[in-house]
Amino acid sequence: GEDVEQSLFLSVREGDSSVINCTYTDSSSTYLYWYKQEPGAGLQLLTYIFSNMDMKQDQRLTVLLNKKDKHLSLRIADTQTGDSAIYFCAENNYGQNFVFGPGTRLSVLP
């Protein structure tokens, strides 16, 4: 079945850039998403990218998609302490269930 993988932890210093990586197996994925989960809260959609795009930028967030390698990344520029959270990568083929990665816990150090 479909699978989405992420590393579980990432630590960066405040002000540096964070890059969270994700790989997926379903080559028919139509949409790829990044969700953010703060402690005790539900997942909040951060951004998404259609599979026919290579890059999407939204303020401090840059999403890169390498469809050939099935690799998705989320770059957060000028990382702040408020960015500390768990980031979930997810893929969805229109009409099918979502498949989520295990989540990457981002810790921002002062």
Rounded Cα distance between 1 and 48, Å, is 22
Nearer to other proteins, 40 or 69 (CB): 40
Map residues 67-106 to x or -, x wherever contact with other proteins holds by CB under 8 A: -------------------x-x-x-x-x--xx-x-xxxx-
Q: Which of 51, 21, 35, 39 is nearest to 90 (CA)?
A: 35
Candidates 8, 53, 77, 109: give the one binding other proteins (CB under 8 A). Answer: 8
Which pair of tokens denotes residue 104?
């990457």
Question: What values do phi and psi take at 75, rounded to 5?
Answer: -110, 130
The CA–CA distances, whole Å, from 56 to 49, 53, 95 equal 7, 8, 23
41 binds other proteins (CB under 8 A): yes
Binding of other proteins by 29 (CB under 8 A): no
Q: Which is nearer to other proteins, 15 or 107 (CB)?
A: 107
In degrees and rounded to multiples of 5, residue 90 shows phi and psi of -145, 150
Footprint of other proteins (CB under 8 A):
8, 31, 33, 35, 37, 40-45, 48, 86, 88, 90, 92, 94, 97-98, 100, 102-105
